[in-house]
């Protein structure tokens, strides 16, 4: 505040027009990009560039082949008996880790059923094995 010789008070006015313009542009950007984030992105999961997973104990290897056959290491199991077998295997193991290898041609719904069986068995860590891009 500044008082001149006539005892008039001069107040400096803040120009808020640029601020309002910037806020409106940001609002429009968020309104346009938010639906894009919700829909997701198409991905090809079987081929990725990932780092090697280091574990304390050897994780159990669970494989699903093209014919929808499930293998724990090299032993074939049925989907309905998967949860019981995994519980028995991990009964005395401290670290509960499973690595899932699923053929890329196996339907997504079947892989989810296998994952659900593994989770119901009480597994803490489930990793997905993919092949490198090279």
CB 129, CB 50: distance < 8 Å: no
Q: Determine the Cα–Cα distance for residues 93 and 39; give it in Å rounded to an integer.
A: 40
Q: Determine the Cα–Cα distance for residues 127 and 48; give it in Å rounded to an integer.
A: 13
Q: Calculate the alpha carbon distances from 87 to 2, 6, 108, 119, 121 in Å.
A: 80, 90, 24, 10, 5
> What pLDDT is recorded for position 117?
93
pLDDT per residue rounded down to tens, the chain (134 residues): 555 555 555 566 778 788 888 888 888 887 777 665 443 333 333 455 555 555 555 778 888 888 888 888 888 899 999 999 999 988 887 778 888 888 888 898 999 999 999 999 988 788 887 777 66
Q: Calculate the alpha carbon distances from 120 to 8, 14, 84, 116, 126 in Å.
A: 79, 62, 9, 6, 12
> What pLDDT is recorded for position 63?
87
> What pLDDT is recorded for position 127?
85
Region of 56 (left: φ > 0; alpha: ψ -120 to 50; beta: rest) is: alpha
> What pLDDT is recorded for position 41?
30
> What pLDDT is recorded for position 78?
94
All domains of the chain, ordered by start, with CATH?
Answer: 2-39 (no CATH), 60-128 (3.30.420.270)
> What pLDDT is recorded for position 80?
93
């Amino acid at each position: 505040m500044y008082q001149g010789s006539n005892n008039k008070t001069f107040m400096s006015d803040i120009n808020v027009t640029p601020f309002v313009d910037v806020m409106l542009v940001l609002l429009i950007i968020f309104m346009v990009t938010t639906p894009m984030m919700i829909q997701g992105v198409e991905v090809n999961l079987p081929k990725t560039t990932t780092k090697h997973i280091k574990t304390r104990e050897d994780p159990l290897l669970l494989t699903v082949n093209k014919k929808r056959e499930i293998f724990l290491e090299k032993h074939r199991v049925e989907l309905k008996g998967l949860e019981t077998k995994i519980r028995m295997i991990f009964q005395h193991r401290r670290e509960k880790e499973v690595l899932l290898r699923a053929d890329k041609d196996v339907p997504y719904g079947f892989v989810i059923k296998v994952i659900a069986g593994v989770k119901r068995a009480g597994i803490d860590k489930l990793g997905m094995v993919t092949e490198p891009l090279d």
